[in-house]
Amino acid sequence: MKIRFLPSFYAVVSAAAVYAFALSGIGNAADPKQAYNYTITKQSETQTSSEKRTTKTSPYEGFAESSYSSLWTSSASSNDYLQANLLKSSFAANNQAEKEESETQTQTTTAATTTSQTTVLTTTTTTPATTTTTIQTTTQTSPPQTQAETEPAPKNLDGDTVGYTYNGSRYEENSFDAVCKIVAAEMNESFETEALKAQAVAVYSYLKYNNENGVFPSVSMKSNVPSKIKNAVSGVYGLAAYYNGDYAQTVYCSSTGGSTNSAKNVWGSDVPYLKSVPSEYDMYDRYYGVQKVFSEDEVRSIIESTTGLELSSNPENWFTILPAEQGGILDSGYIGKMLIDGNSYYMKNGNKVAITGRVLRENIFAFRLNSAKFNVSYSGGQFIFTTYGCGHGVGMSQLGANLYAQKAGYNYLQILNHYYPGVTIQ
């Protein structure tokens, strides 16, 4: 029996995002004009040795993602707010809860090598009369190097302060101290110095953007700041990202699974410097290809308790990813519109809530999935979600920034200009 899920799509999305970007220079993980019938056969109970997933120890232990404000977890109110205020609110209020959830998950990843390799991608398209299988081959190459820019000098900002919210309380503090503590919570000292610098500029810009709009954003902080992080912050202190002369809203997340998401896809507002761009090295980070297994009973309980929908007795029909031309697969490879047992929405407090990959991850599964870039399969009474990346996916990939510094030799300016195209660092 066939079930409607996301089949070989992520074979296309993930590999295209990682391998094909270097060849094409296009920052989209899926062609929005390509229509697929997302159909796969029920998974075999056994796997070949080449298909087995292995657990690896992350080089980034202790690192986790900055998340969103409560405004951005409410589908009913977020778009109106963001349309009027252009992403004013913080994206970090749910940070701690998501970190705790992330740290309890088993981190599994597809075995990968660092040498160039050829990958075979299989895409199945179905018509009423025939089923055709197409083979596409791409070869991994290194992304193009960009010329290093002249680095601006850090500023003398004695007396400069920023405001933020931490553990529910509002604070105003010397900006250097605040940025150091936030960077220490977002990255650890194992990160490359250039990645730490990029994070420092992003944090400072993010705080200033919000403060200028009357917002004290929610942040994560660590009081014990290593000297490596203090030195990195000192090297870029006072530098910020600007767009058209104003502070940029430099949001960030842990990892983006091969390409970043756009602000429009996530929050409904089109922000010029928050478009989908490639993040070529995400395949090497801890969040690429993480599997989370739920029993059929768990999934039924989660969905029925949060949505009020009554699921059928056939779990193979519980999840359907709509084709790209219907908004199911977004240009960044994240999941847009989908159906739960044939339903495109559910009712919450008298309002219709459209079912999307983001809604499934945040509102229904309460962040138990790392990312809204996923595929899902059903076998032997279990649902297996395989996620790519961690977080909303918008802006800078923190692990991606570190890998660009490690593998491509990017400095912090190159990292920032890559993830926030069109901004000026000064």
* Helix (H/G/I), strand (E/B), else coil: 338: strand
* Helix (H/G/I), strand (E/B), else coil: 308: coil
Rounded alpha-carbon distances, angstroms, from residue 279 to 22, 211, 332, 418, 419: 10, 29, 11, 9, 8
Give 9-62 pLDDT, tens digit per residue.
334 334 443 333 333 333 333 332 222 222 222 333 333 333 333 333 333 333
Measured CA to CA, the distance from residue 158 to residue 193 in angstroms comes to: 24
The angle at the Cα of 390, spanning 385 to 396, to the nearest 5 degrees, equals: 150
Q: Which residues of the chain have pLDDT under 70?
A: 1-149, 156
What is the pLDDT, as a whole number, of residue 158?
Answer: 76
What is the pLDDT, as a whole number, of residue 266?
Answer: 94
Work out whether strand 396-397 and strand 319-321 pair parallel, antiparallel, or are unpaired: unpaired
Residue 59 class from Cβ within 10 Å (0-12 exposed, 13-18 middle, 19+ buried)? middle
Structure tokens at 103: 């740290």
pTM listed for this prediction:
0.68
Identify how many contiguous H helices and E strands the chain contains and give both numbers. Answer: 12, 20
Measured CA to CA, the distance from residue 344 to residue 354 in angstroms comes to: 6
Measured CA to CA, the distance from residue 239 to residue 221 in angstroms comes to: 20
Measured CA to CA, the distance from residue 282 to residue 320 in angstroms comes to: 26
Beta bridge partners of 171: 164
What is the pLDDT, as a whole number, of residue 149?
Answer: 60
